[in-house]
Amino acid sequence: MKLVTFDQGRIGIVNDARVIDITDLAGAQPGTWPPVGMVRLIADWQQRQPALLDALATRKGVPLGDVRLEAPVQWPNKVIAFPANYHAHIDEMKHGTASGVISTFKASGQGFFLKASSSLSGPADDIVLPPLAGREIHHECELGIVIGKRGRGASRAEHRDYIFGFTCLLDMVVRGKEERVMRKSFDTFCPTGPWIATSDEVADFGNIDMRLFVNGEERQRASTRDLIVDIPEMIAMSSAVMTLEPGDIIASGTPAGVGPVVDGDVLEIVIDGIGSMTLRVRQGEVGAHAVWDEAKTGLAV
Mean pLDDT of 23-29: 95
Taking the C-alpha atoms of residue 234 and residue 231, their distance in angstroms, rounded to an integer, is: 5
* The pLDDT of residue 110 is above 60: yes
What average pLDDT does the segment 236-242 reach? 98
User: How would residue 97 be classed by pLDDT, with cut points 50, 70 and 90?
Assistant: very low
Torsion angles phi and psi, residue 28, rounded to 5:
-90, 155
**Amino acid (one-letter) located at 139:** H
The dihedrals phi and psi of 195, each to the nearest 5 degrees, come to: -155, 180
- With a cut of 60, say whether residue 102 has pLDDT above it: no
CATH label, 79-293, candidates 3.90.850.10, 3.40.630.30, 3.40.50.1820, 3.40.50.300: 3.90.850.10
Q: What is the mean pLDDT of residues 138-153?
A: 98
pLDDT digits (tens, 9 = 90+) for 285-297: 999 999 999 765 5
Question: Residue 122: pLDDT above 50?
Answer: yes
Q: Is the predicted pLDDT of residue 175 greater than 50, yes or no? A: yes
What does residue 162 show for φ and ψ, rounded to 5 degrees?
-100, -15
- Domain(s) labelled CATH 3.90.850.10 in the chain stretch across 79-293
Task: Quickly state the pLDDT bin for 106 (edges 50, 70, 90).
Answer: low
pLDDT of the residue at 84: 83
Its sign, for the CA torsion 78, 206, 227, 274, is: negative
pLDDT digits (tens, 9 = 90+) for 199-238: 999 999 999 999 999 999 999 999 999 999 999 999 999 9
Q: What pLDDT was estimated at residue 94?
A: 58
Q: How far apart are CA 11 and CA 63, in angstroms?
A: 14
Per the CB < 8 A criterion, the answer to whether 233 and 156 are in contact is: yes
Please report, rounded to a whole number, the percentage of residues in the chain having pLDDT higher than 90.
87
Mean pLDDT of all residues in 141-165: 98
Res. 6 pLDDT band, cuts 50 70 90: very high
